[in-house]
A = this chain, B = another copy of it.
Amino acid sequence: MEQHHTLAHVLRQEQLRYTNQRQAVWDEIKSTDAHRDAEEIYMALRQDNISVSRATVYRTIEVLVKYKLINKIDIGDGRSRYEHANNTEHHDHLICTNCGKILEFVDESVEELQCDIAKKYGFKLDYHIHQLFGLCKKCK
């Protein structure tokens, strides 16, 4: 899939209309580096007196994930979190199993190894999940 760096591009590609609600969701997600779930994003919008329904939040997130403007993070507690991928180097996550803290790490050599592995098994790699779980500095 091609790279699409703006909401407008993505919507055009998907033949969806550009609307204030969609822009508002995208703006809200872009506004922090946090790893928030759909409900938190929805509540943040309400806080700002922007009226967007939960359904629209979920629907917009879906497209943003598809085009990789945001990343979906699943830390195994039953709800997905999202982070914007805007001007961000690719990274993976360290997750504290005690306090839920999420740290980001970059490791080029792991990235390269992944390509090799995929090639070896005849896979055309699309994306990956690489999460290290354990106790953070404070919790251990």
Interface residues on A, range: 20 to 34
Are A113 and B109 neighbours in the complex by a CB distance under 8 Å? Answer: yes
Residues of B within 8 A of A126 (CB): 97, 133-135
Does A55 sit within 8 A of B, measured CB to CB?
A: no
Q: Which residues of B contact A122 (CB under 8 A)?
A: 136-137, 140
* 23 A-B pairs in the complex with CB atoms less than 8 angstroms apart: A74-B74, A94-B118, A94-B121, A107-B113, A110-B110, A110-B114, A113-B113, A114-B132, A118-B134, A121-B136, A122-B140, A123-B136, A123-B140, A124-B134, A124-B135, A124-B140, A126-B133, A126-B135, A127-B133, A128-B132, A129-B130, A129-B131, A130-B130
